[in-house]
Structure 1
Amino acid sequence: MLLSALYRGGRQVEALAVYTETRGLLEQKLGAGPSREGAELHLGRTDGGG
C-alpha cells in the first residue's frame, strides 16, 4: 500500500526506494522475494506502464 500511495502521490523515486529496500530485506531475512503482484507493480511502474 505504501508503494502505491507514494507512486500515486507523485513520489515515484521514493516508491522505488521503498520497493528496493523491502525486497532486499525479504530476501535477506526470509529468503523470499516479492509476490507476483508486487513484482508486476514494480515492472509496470519502472517501464512506464501501469
Structure 2
Amino acid sequence: MDSALDVAVRTVRALSDDALPRDWSAETAVLVGTGREPVPDEHAELRSRLPALG
C-alpha cells in the first residue's frame, strides 16, 4: 500500500506534467508543488506550473 506522501507526490507530478526535479525529496516536492513553500530561485522556470494545487 502506498503512503499518503507517495500519493501526494504522484498527484503533484501528474498535475504539473511531471515538472518536478527528480532530486527533490518527497517532502520538498509536495511542499513546493502545493504552494506551501516557494519555488526555489534555481528552478524559477517551474513557477508557471507550480503550485499544482490551489
Alignment TM-score, normalising by the size of structure 1: 0.38
User: Which of the pair has the greater relative contact order for Cα pairs under 8 Å at 6+ separation?
Assistant: 2
Task: Mark the structure with the bigger radius of gyration.
Answer: 1
